[in-house]
Amino acid sequence: MDLRHKLMNLKKQKSQSMESYLHEIKDVVDSLAAINSPLTTYQELAQYTDDGLDDDYKTFTTIATYFGANFT
């Protein structure tokens, strides 16, 4: 499977810890970098990460979206 496609389709499962979900994302991002096809911005990484979160994280994603690049 294409790594970018895999990254776009990663979803945090209800039973999955946040640590495990983020580790999964990191593995794909590291693999992309290893084949000289890295993500170009942190915003791109943040968007893929956010897209994989379910409604349990709606408040967080709303705040992160509102503050955008100023969110630290």
Is 3 a member of any domain? no
The pair of three-digit structure tokens given for residue 71, joined into one six-digit string? 């969110």
pTM of the full structure: 0.80
Mind listing the pLDDT tens digit for each residue in 7-56?
Answer: 999 999 999 999 999 999 999 999 999 999 999 888 888 889 989 998 88
Is 22 a member of any domain? yes
Rounded Cα distance, 44 and 6, in Å: 14
Rounded Cα distance, 5 and 25, in Å: 12
Q: Please check whether residue 35 is in contact with residue 17, taking contact to mean a CB–CB distance below 8 angstroms.
A: no
pLDDT at 69: 52
Is 60 a member of any domain? yes
Task: Return the percent helix, strand and coil in the chain, to nearest 5.
Answer: 70, 0, 30
Total tally of structural domains belonging to the chain = 1
Cα Rg of the chain (Å, integer): 13
Q: What is the extent of the structural domain holding 38?
A: 18-70
Is 10 a member of any domain? no
